[in-house]
Each structure stands twice: as structure tokens, then as C-alpha cells.
Amino acid sequence: MSKPIKIKRGLNIPLKGSAEKVLVRLDKAETYGVKPTDFPGLVPKLNVAVGDKVRAGSPLFHDKYRPNIVFSSPVSGEVVDVRRGERRVILEVVVKADSGEVAYEDFGSSSPQMLTRDEVVAKLLKAGAWPYIKQRPFGIIANPADSPKSIFISCFDTSPLAPDLDFAVQGEEESFQAGVDVLRKLTPGKVHLGLSADFPPAKAFANAKGVEQHYFTGPHPAGNVGVHIHHIDPINKGEVVWVVNPLDVIIIGRLFLKGIYDATRVIALAGSEVLKPRYYKLISGASIESIIKDNVNTQNQVRIISGNALTGTRVDKLGYLGYYDNMVTVIPEGNKYEFFGWIAPGVNKHSASSAFLSKLIPGKRFTLDTNMHGGHRAMVVTGQYEKVMPMDLYPMQLIKAILANDIDRMEQLGIYEVVEEDMALCEYVCPSKTEVQAILRKGIEIMIKELS
């Protein structure tokens, strides 16, 4: 093991309700959904209409501007609904699952080593597994025409209540290795695995061949792939790095081993409002209802989040698990007033600062709700963001450059190196309640437009 890279700046948010290491195999949900909104910047075009029969791996919709990028149905069944939002934007394509076994499209099993790069790309595109590969900068679906300088897989998650990925990949060693072999075809550079130095990593990660393992230790965001890239092979202007979640690597591996698009994955259901937080094995895109069932506290109003509490997407009971998400978080809504809350000693309040009594209780876990804990203000306090940003860049200056719409400055200050999740903690700690992630996405969109 090489010397671990120490991440010093950051913050672990100790939420209550982390998932117990019990794996529950979930029955097939009634409906599954694929959400174009999971892919920033995507303009979807439908391939199917309501009433069409599909198999697992049949395309549901594609990217209007890159039509070879398709998004597949995770199960076999019938398209029952296309939910639309304002201005008829497609929000969800809903598939009602057949009873019985899932019927798969057959893409043919093949060893990636025997294929050319073009054949590998074609297969990924055709099966709808391509969108699992994201690119940095910008955190959007990778462009098949690009040749990335390297590919990164972060094999541990440090976000609040995050699932233990070592637990989630157990028994998938073969598929993971196959997925890694596929990715090795895609880059002339290296495939890097980011591993936690604090726990012995799962066999799938530790024994993976043809990759370079790097060990990290420290608080969140030490597990963010953006942080790994920054420390190992930072992105300069014009360079492209691809990233894939380890659970998605497994799905890619299965496509080549078995020739099918099998989006089965292990996710965690966690949060203070979950009665029995644990792990579930299910098919990606499952309805939230099928996951939370009777396992959520009904006394309080709750917020269900597909993903973690810092970066996840708000969903309701009728919604669906996000495309990339490996957890569902349920926390209380915070829509109540608090009498003189700003001066209360705050034994139960979490803060990165030491302005609350809770700091004196080490190891305390918190029930955090969705309250803003204050009104929006101009940026006043400085140095707060830097404490939770383990990269050599100036987060507040970058945010200000975006607000000022200064493209040169954004580029100089390193907008290519960050996506929302890397700056989510800045948003968490901001005493002025600045919407850092939304601002950053706006900046990224400006850059994409500028460069196209």
C-alpha cells in the first residue's frame, strides 16, 4: 500500500440513522422510472410511446444532440406514463414491470480484451450503459468521441450516511473486474481507483487488476472523485477525465460478461426517519415507494432524498431512485419556527463552527432537518468555505466570479476541477445561506455554452 494521501480540510456531518449492514433483497417494484432530469443539460427525445412493450435494455429516450447516447429501461414491461413538467419538459418515463423474470435484450457476451475500442464504445452506447460514464470538467455524460487522459473510480463514499461501498460490492468481484477491463479500453491513460486508507477495502477493489490504487484518509469530501482527481491527475484547460461510480462499473461489467443490461445494485436506505435503516438489493430506477414501504416514521413530515443529504434530489413517495444514486435518505422537514433559535445554546444543533454547545459532546450524532436555519444574506464571513474545500482553489472567489458572469475568471479559478458535490459542504457551512451548488451549476452551464 502506498502512502495514503491525507485530506485535511473537510467536514463529516454525523447524521443519525446510518444503515445497518443487513442486505435485504427487494421484490420487484411495480413501476420503474428513468428521469432525464438526472442528467444535467440533457435534452431528451423519446424512443417509446405510452403502451409500448420494452425489455431491460430497450431504449426509452435518447439525447437530442448526441442521438447515439440512449437511456434504457432497467426492467421489462410496458411504458405506462411519460410525466411532464413545466413547458412539457419530460420528467420521468415510467415502465410497469412484468410479473415474473425480467426479460433482457441480448447484446451478446464478449470479452472487452478481444474488442476494439470502437466496438466497446458501440456496445456501451447501444445497451444504454454509456450514461454511467461521466466526464470532468462539468460532470455531464461523457462524449464518446473524446479520449480521456485517465479514468477515475472512487471506491468509498464519505458523504453523510453514505453506504459502505465495500459492503455493496460483495460478491461482484468478477463483474467489477470486467467493468474495469472495459474502462481500460477507453483511455490511453490509466484507470485510477481511490480507496479509503481507514478500512481494508473490499476484495473487488483491492484485487482489481490493471488499475492504479490510491489511498486517501480524512473527512468528507475525501471520498469525492473530484478530490482524487485534483490530487492525482488534476484537470487543466482542455483536458478531459472520465469518472464512473463503482456500482455502475459492475453494471458495465455485467453487460460484457452476460450480454445483458442488468441494472441491479445495492443501495442504502438511511436517515433519522427510517425505522430500520439497512441495505437493499434492487434494480436501479425502482419506485421510492417500493423501497421505503412501511419503513418510515409517519409521525413527522419527512423529506425523501434520492442520494445523500448534501447533493441528492428531492423525490416524493411516487418518485423513483435516481440513475446514479446509491442511497435514499429520509430526514424530517424543518418547516417550523423556532423561538429565539439563533441564540439558543444548541445542544442538538450541528455546526462546522464551535458556536453551539453541541461541540462539547464528542461523537454525538444529529437529527438534522431541512430548515435553512436563517435568512439569505450577502456574503459576509470569509474563510468558511476554505475550511471544507480540500483543493487548491478559492471557492468564494470562484462563486463570486460566476455571479459576476466573468468567464475568464471562472476558468482561471478552476471551474474545470469542481462539480456541485465538491462544493456542497461550502453550501452547508455558509452562514449567509448562499445557494452554492445552484450557482456553480449555472457557472458550468455558462462554460459549456462558451466552449461549444
Partner 1 sequence: MKALRNYLDKIKPHFQKGGRFEVFHSTFDAFETFLFVPNTVTTKGSHIRDSLDLKRTMSIVIIALMPAMLFGMWNVGYQHALSIGASWSFLETFWYGFLKVLPLIVVSYGVGLSIEFAFAQSRGHEVNEGFLVSGLLIPLIMPVDVPLWMLAIAVAFAVIIGKEVFGGTGYNVFNPALLARAFLFFAYPSHMSGDKVWIAGLTQGQGVVDGFSGATPLAKAAAYQIDQMPSVYDMFMGFIPGSVGETSTLAILIGAAILIITGIGSWKIMVSVFGGGLAAGLLFNAFAVNPYMEIPAWQHLIMGGFAFGAVFMATDPVSASQTEKGKWMYGFLVGFLALLVRVLNPAYPEGMMLAILLMNAFAPLIDYYVVEANIRRRMKRAKKVANV
Count of residues that interact with partner 1, criterion CB under 8 A: 74
Give yes or no for residue 95 binding partner 1 (CB under 8 A): no
Strands (E) across 239-301 are located at 241-243, 264-270, 278-283
Instruction: Provide the grid cell at 342.
Output: 439563533
Q: Report, in Å, the least distance between residue 290 CB and partner 1.
A: 22
| Residue among 293, 435, 449, 451 that touches partner 1 (CB under 8 A) | 435
Closer residue to partner 1 (CB): 114 or 372: 372
| Residue among 60, 155, 269, 424 that touches partner 1 (CB under 8 A) | 424
Q: Report, in Å, the least distance between residue 65 CB and partner 1.
A: 25
372/314 Cα distance (integer angstroms): 15
Give yes or no for residue 314 binding partner 1 (CB under 8 A): yes
Q: By C-alpha distance, which of 17, 4, 8 is closest to 273?
A: 17
SS3 of 47, please? coil
SS3 of 108, please? coil
Closer residue to partner 1 (CB): 177 or 384: 384
| Footprint of partner 1 on 243-272 (CB under 8 A) | none
Give yes or no for residue 342 binding partner 1 (CB under 8 A): yes
Give yes or no for residue 433 binding partner 1 (CB under 8 A): yes
| Residue among 343, 362, 363, 452 that touches partner 1 (CB under 8 A) | 343
Q: Report, in Å, the least distance between residue 350 CB and partner 1.
A: 6
| Footprint of partner 1 on 158-187 (CB under 8 A) | 160
| Residue among 181, 248, 369, 422 that touches partner 1 (CB under 8 A) | 369
129/133 Cα distance (integer angstroms): 8
Give yes or no for residue 86 binding partner 1 (CB under 8 A): no
SS3 of 62, please? strand
Under 8 Å between Cβ of 254 and 437 = no
Closer residue to partner 1 (CB): 130 or 385: 385
Question: Which residues contact residue 183 at a Cβ distance below 8 angstroms, ignoring those fewer than 6 apart?
Answer: 133, 151, 153, 191, 242, 244, 249, 252
What track of x and - describes contact with partner 1 for positions 123 through 162 (by CB under 8 A)? -------------------------------------x--
Q: First vs last Cα of the chain: how many Å apart?
A: 42
198/316 Cα distance (integer angstroms): 35
Give yes or no for residue 368 binding partner 1 (CB under 8 A): yes
Give yes or no for residue 296 binding partner 1 (CB under 8 A): no
Spatial strand order of the sheet with 59-63 comes to 44-46, 59-63, 70-72
Closer residue to partner 1 (CB): 71 or 320: 320
Task: Assess whether the previous peptide bond of 4 is cis (omega < 30° from 0).
Answer: no
Q: Which range of residues in 46-54, 69-77, 89-97, 386-394 is near partner 1 by CB under 8 A?
A: 386-394
Instruction: Provide the grid cell at 324.
Output: 446514479
| Residue among 142, 186, 257, 331 that touches partner 1 (CB under 8 A) | 331
| Footprint of partner 1 on 346-365 (CB under 8 A) | 346, 349-356
Q: Report, in Å, the least distance between residue 305 CB and partner 1.
A: 6
266/258 Cα distance (integer angstroms): 19
Give yes or no for residue 436 binding partner 1 (CB under 8 A): yes
Closer residue to partner 1 (CB): 76 or 329: 329
Q: By C-alpha distance, which of 285, 286, 259 is closest to 175?
A: 259
Task: Assess whether the previous peptide bond of 137 is cis (omega < 30° from 0).
Answer: yes
| Residue among 430, 443, 444, 447 that touches partner 1 (CB under 8 A) | 430
Give yes or no for residue 50 binding partner 1 (CB under 8 A): no
Closer residue to partner 1 (CB): 109 or 353: 353
Under 8 Å between Cβ of 153 and 244 = yes
How many CB atoms within 10 Å of residue 159?
24
